[in-house]
Amino acid sequence: MTDQQFLAALPAYSEPVSLKSAQGRRIRATIRRGLAHLVLRELLTSLRRGYRGRSPDDVKDYYETNYVNTGERAAAQHGEPGRRVFYRFLDSWIIELESRHTEAIASQIMGNIIEDIAPASLCEVGCGYGRNLLYLANRLENVRCSGVELAQSGVDVAHQLQQLDLVNTGYGGVYGFTERGTDNVRRTNIVQGSSYKLPLEDASVDMVVTCEALEQMQTGRDQALREIRRVAGRYALFYEPFADGNDWLQRLYLWSRNYFRTPVKSLRDYGFEPIGIFTHVPVKPTFAYTFVLCRVV
Ligand SMILES: C[S@@+](CC[C@H](N)C(=O)[O-])C[C@H]1O[C@@H](n2cnc3c(N)ncnc32)[C@H](O)[C@@H]1O
């Protein structure tokens, strides 16, 4: 069963369905069966390949070819109807018509958390084509923003986006861009580089953030977390699939695909003191992300 077949097998509901209802329990059973199939498929693939995948080279190759859009196309696509994705949120199942809206919700929550901390500067490690980072730059106009991304193709798209009038694009509409933030978007320094050797001085940014990026770095997790700790002056904020936010089957899935799945408490081993955990975000069928805010120690 492929991921697409798994999603297609889920029924389409337009209204939230309570987890506790008979219908909700049926959906859960379908999801569990689908997930078990995916785990099995991944294990068979790993056996054939001889390793569980997601080596740094695999990740780079994948993302270099993933960011094929121009900036204009990427910005427009956010406003177009996308793939239906099934989510759980609090005690309901919901159909999210456009998965990109769910990403936007997570970015907005990240913006709320950062606004409270009010760092002077932030750096997003693994910022892709800047989807989350440019939103933060637009919203937090007094925060000096920067980003490091492994794939040069992602950096190129981000640079193109920075030159557009984003307020009047689908992306700007979904994320609520304002004219006021445009200067900070354009000032944002986005460079190609690796989390395994960040092109930054020690303690040179007030806050480091990651958004669905450590998930790709399980193989080099220790090095990536040490590097983030080295460059973070005061805080780090992670939005990643921590083990604690996932049940045993989801953790098995994360393991089978070699995704990041570290327990929150292990962050202490790398010099991070978790001071805030936020789990109220929509959860996709396969696994959940958790926000973890840390002070560096
Ligand atoms: C799922 S994407 C998320 C992108 C972006 N944070 C967002 O939310 O739109 C994961 C990103 O992490 C980047 N990445 C993976 N390994 C990396 C590494 N070792 N150093 C820097 N970036 C990396 C990938 O190239 C990819 O762009």
What local confidence, expressed as pLDDT, does residue 200 receive? Answer: 98
Lowest mean pLDDT among 4-13, 55-64, 193-202, 235-244: 4-13
CA distance 280 to 297: 26
Contact, 114 vs 122, CB < 8 A? yes
CA distance 176 to 188: 18
pLDDT band, residue 12 (cuts 50/70/90) = low
Contact, 122 vs 210, CB < 8 A? no
For the cut 80, the answer to whether the pLDDT of residue 51 exceeds it is yes
pLDDT 10s digits, 200-228? 999 999 999 999 999 999 999 999 999 99
What local confidence, expressed as pLDDT, does residue 217 receive? Answer: 97
Q: Tell me, using a 6 A CB cutoff, whether residue 128 lines ligand 1.
A: yes
Q: Tell me, using a 6 A CB cutoff, whether residue 126 lines ligand 1.
A: yes
What local confidence, expressed as pLDDT, does residue 252 receive? Answer: 95
Beta strands 272-278 and 232-240 are unpaired
For the cut 80, the answer to whether the pLDDT of residue 294 exceeds it is yes
Contact, 219 vs 55, CB < 8 A? yes
Tokens coding 255: 């393991």
pLDDT band, residue 9 (cuts 50/70/90) = low
Q: Tell me, using a 6 A CB cutoff, whether residue 216 lines ligand 1.
A: yes
Mean pLDDT on 143-156: 97
- Angstrom CA distances, 274 to 242, 267, 281, 289, stand at 12, 7, 18, 15
Q: Tell me, using a 6 A CB cutoff, whether residue 212 lines ligand 1.
A: yes
For the cut 60, the answer to whether the pLDDT of residue 3 exceeds it is no
pLDDT 10s digits, 52-75? 888 889 999 999 999 988 999 999
What local confidence, expressed as pLDDT, does residue 280 receive? Answer: 85
What local confidence, expressed as pLDDT, does residue 4 receive? Answer: 60
Lowest mean pLDDT among 9-13, 56-60, 287-291: 9-13
Say which residue the tokens 């960040």 belong to: 198
pLDDT band, residue 98 (cuts 50/70/90) = low
- Burial-class residue 12 by CB neighbours within 10 Å (0-12, 13-18, 19+): exposed
Ligand 1 atom showing the smallest separation from residue 62 Cα:
25
- The order of strands in the sheet holding 92-96 is 17-18, 92-96, 85-89
Contact, 258 vs 240, CB < 8 A? no
CA distance 223 to 246: 24
For the cut 60, the answer to whether the pLDDT of residue 131 exceeds it is yes
For the cut 60, the answer to whether the pLDDT of residue 272 exceeds it is yes
Lowest mean pLDDT among 1-15, 51-65, 95-109: 1-15
- pTM (2 decimals)? 0.93
Domains of the chain (ranges, CATH numbers): 3-296 (3.40.50.150)
Contact, 128 vs 152, CB < 8 A? no
Q: Tell me, using a 6 A CB cutoff, whether residue 63 lines ligand 1.
A: yes
Lowest mean pLDDT among 32-46, 93-107, 155-169, 227-241: 93-107
For the cut 60, the answer to whether the pLDDT of residue 194 exceeds it is yes
What is the H or E stretch that residue 290 is in? strand 290-296
Contact, 101 vs 79, CB < 8 A? no
Q: Phi-psi bin for 118: left (phi > 0), alpha (psi -120 to 50), beta?
A: left
Contact, 157 vs 71, CB < 8 A? yes
Q: How many Cβ atoms sit within 10 Å of the Cβ of residue 44?
A: 11
Tokens coding 61: 């190759």
Task: Give 44's contacts (C-beta < 8 A, 6+ positions apart).
Answer: none
- Spacing, Cα 197 to ligand 1 middle (Å): 14
Angle at 144 between CA 169 and CA 241, to 5 degrees: 75
What local confidence, expressed as pLDDT, does residue 63 receive? Answer: 95
